[in-house]
Amino acid sequence: MITDSISVPREDRLSAIRTSKLFWPLAALALLLSFNLITDPSFFAIEYKNGVFFGSLIDILNRAAPVALLALGMTLVIATGGIDLSVGSIMAIAGATSAWLISHEVVNSLWLILAISLGVSLLAGLWNGLLVTALGIQPIIATLILMVAGRGIAQLITNGQVLTFSHEGFEMIGGGAFLGLPLSISIVICSYALALLLLRKTALGLFIESIGSNPIASHYTGIRSNLVKFSVYGVCGVAAGLAGLILTSDIQGADANNVGLWSELDAILAVVIGGTALTGGRFSLSTTLVGVVILQTLTTTILTHGLPVQYTLIVKSAVVIIVMLLMSAEFRHQMKSLFQRGQRSE
Amino acid sequence: MNNKYIPLAATIFVFMALFGFGSAQFDSFFSMRVFTNLFTDNAFLAITAIGMTFVILSGGIDLSVGSMIACVGVATAVLIEHYQLHPLVVFPIILICATLFGSFMGFLIEKYDLPPFIVTLAGMFFLRGLSFVISIESIPITHSFYDSIADFYIPLPGNGSLTVSTLILLTVLAGAVYIAHYTRIGRNIYAVGGNEQSAALLGVPVGRTKLFVYSANSFLAALAGIVFTFYTFSGYSLAAMGLELDAIASVVIGGTLLSGGVGYVVGTIFGVLIQGVIQTIISFDGTLNSWWTKIFIGLLLFIFISLQRLISSGLLLKWWPSDKKPLVN
């Protein structure tokens, strides 16, 4: 982050680490992982077979990849003070488009398939952006429209069936490997690096944060907030499309009804766990990614410990409430006064 | 006509137009039976949507209602079938638990100032997870009480019928209209949704109002869950997936502003009926596929939201002189 270069007096270093945005999410992740280390050391085993790594940790990263892409886009949208509920539907649309292109043999080149599917996702995202900026509709409602209609559109493309296909190049996206790791991990890392470059090496990130924290003041300082918002929704659409392509390629079929179902909620959850406030303003992509990994580690931990799948949702909901409470000023105040009262009575 | 009635009038007009279209298109469409079936088939959605109207009027949102319906269904089925309790004993237990759950969500939202979106999202996860934990399988309800409920109806001319579900819906509707427009708590809800700070400064008990809204909504969602079991004769943990969106869409199509403070319960009923009519037309047609419902509803949402924006931006004022300034901001 930018603050790295500022020299900090020695005694303040500890508190600087503690107040760093990454501290609490990483601490939570470390807690989860050490729980696994104690109860099931084989959790950390990584095998190398046929040039590919296998293991629970790799599996976590691989499964987290689609939500990670969604969450990266969602972080930007939330930072501008918005929200995007339609990402799950955009995933379905992108998947359906690619499956339709392949199974109807419209185009055969991998790059064209990617370009067209992502182009459609971009249009879907820009549609959201148009509603939010030009019509001034609340983001939660504007994106609700595409959330409802998007799945219908995706089903229209696939004609209501699960479109299966086989395409050697396209199957690599979800099933391929690069440097021994699933290709999806590399896709996430590249997207993250690209986003970081665009946002932190240019003023764009600052613009987004300023729009989120005070839209009127940003307008007066000359930031073209509508253009920035419009593009951010477009970027979120493309990220969602990419996530949809990974999932579609992984199962070699487009299931318009179920692909990415509820993943918008997972993405929002990851952003919140990462500490980016839903009200907009300051954001951090790295903590969002940690949030995604926490959620997936939680799910995998529940599964590997033999707890039935159905407990995942209950644990997730408890985690959300605890994280939100820890972020609430009122709750911190209450805990603090409780703690102080306890000290006084001793 | 006053500006604030335009969305409501537009909703009623769209409903009549759609019903007219169906009647012109299909022979047996224009009948009391089709009309009353709209109520029977959508009673559970309408009851939830009424609760959602209050939440949205207060400026909040509740994503947990779909899961609540599923959870209530599964819990009711288990209590009746496995624990051999009489339905009339089960219903109060379920309703009380649901109301407590709603007030807990309201407490978190109000006391710790957490965003309703996230709290009710957690509630949605929790309730869906709870219904999975209770039972993954669909549990049929075979109690004789359910048979007598299914057999009971008040016949209307033209093959129409008022079923138990419809009667419950109409009772809820009457109660909701009374609360919204003729009681102090109703006015408080509108005030809190219009501007929370002003409301607080004017002495409106903001916290208590929010608590009431979320408790009432969970109560109504649970009631909708019970009505849903009348309809399906079973409890299934995967039931009513995404129903919260249908409910929110009904509220919006019904002319309630999502920013809170403006809207009518009656509009919501027409929002539900519009969705019902679209489904009926699609099933009468037989060649259109079910996903057209989603696309049509998305389109309607877009039209209504744009209409609301147009009104609230004051553009319509130029062509539509009214004696009162619109309440929308």
B-proximal residues of A, 157-176, CB under 8 Å: 160
How many whole angstroms separate alpha carbon B237 and alpha carbon B257?
32
Is the predicted pLDDT of residue B325 greater than 50, yes or no?
no
User: Using one digit for the tens of pLDDT, what is the confidence trace for A146-177?
Assistant: 887 888 888 888 887 787 887 777 777 777 77
Q: For residue B252, which residues of chain A lie inside 8 Å, CB to CB?
A: 141, 144
Q: A253 vs chain B: nearest CA distance in angstroms?
A: 19
- Contact map slice: A 59-98 vs B, CB within 8 A: 83
In percent, the amount of chain B with pLDDT more than 70 equals 93
Residue at B92 is within a domain: yes
More confident residue, B22 or B289: B22
Instruction: Please name the residue ranges forming H helices in chain A.
Output: 10-19, 23-39, 56-79, 87-103, 110-133, 139-158, 168-175, 183-200, 204-213, 215-220, 225-251, 263-273, 285-304, 311-327, 329-345
User: What pLDDT is attached to residue A55?
Assistant: 76
β-strand partners of B139: B235
Tell me, yes or no, whether B291 lies in a domain. yes
Average pLDDT over residues A310-338: 81
Domain of residue B185, residue span: 3-318
Per-residue pLDDT of A288-304, as tens digits, reads 999 899 888 888 888 87
- Given this model, what pLDDT does residue B244 score? 86
**pLDDT computed for residue A14 by the predictor:** 57
Chain B residues within 8 Å of chain A (Cβ atoms): 61, 108, 111-115, 117-119, 121-126, 128-130, 132-133, 136, 245, 248-249, 252, 258-259, 289-295, 297-299, 301-302, 305-306, 309, 313
Which DSSP category does B42 fall into?
A: H
Q: Is A140 in contact with B306 (Cβ distance < 8 A)?
A: no
Q: Which of B185, B192, B193 is nearest to B206 (CA)?
A: B192
CB-closest option in B124, B291, B301 to A155: B291
Confidence of residue A232 (pLDDT cuts 50, 70, 90): very high
Q: Chain B interface, mutation test: which of A93, A141, A158, A315, most B Cβ atoms within 10 Å?
A: A141
Q: How far apart are CA A166 and CA B172, in angstroms?
A: 53
By the 8 A CB rule, do A56 and A43 touch? Answer: yes
User: Can you give the residue ranges of every domain in chain A?
Assistant: 64-329
Whether B168 is in a domain gets the answer yes
Amino acid identity for residue A60 in this structure? I
Phi, psi of B156 (to 5 degrees): -120, 155
Whole-number Å distance between alpha carbons of A1 and B310: 43
The C-alpha of A163 sits at a distance from chain B's nearest C-alpha, in angstroms, of 16
Q: Does B324 fall in a domain?
A: no
- Whole-angstrom Cα distance, residue A194 to residue B96? 52
Under an 8 A CB cutoff, do B130 and A160 touch? no
CB B48 within 8 A of CB B223: no
- CATH number of the domain where residue B249 is located: 1.10.3470
Residue B327 within a domain: no
Q: For residue B16, give the amino acid letter.
A: M
Q: Is residue B142 part of a domain?
A: yes
* pLDDT tens digits for range A271-281: 888 888 888 88
CB distance B252–A141 less than 8 Å?
yes
CA–CA dist A266, A298 (Å, integer): 12
Instruction: Give B225's contacts (C-beta < 8 A, 6+ positions apart).
Output: B44, B68, B69, B70, B71, B72, B73, B76, B94, B98, B240
B325 within some domain: no
Closest chain B residue to the Cα of A154, Cα to Cα = B291
Instruction: Domain A64-329: give its CATH architecture.
Output: Orthogonal Bundle (1.10)
Torsion of CA B10, B16, B21, B27, to 10 degrees: 170
Would an 8 Å CB–CB cutoff place A145 in contact with chain B? yes
pLDDT tens readout for residues B44-78: 999 999 999 999 999 999 989 999 999 999 999 99
Number of domains in chain B: 1
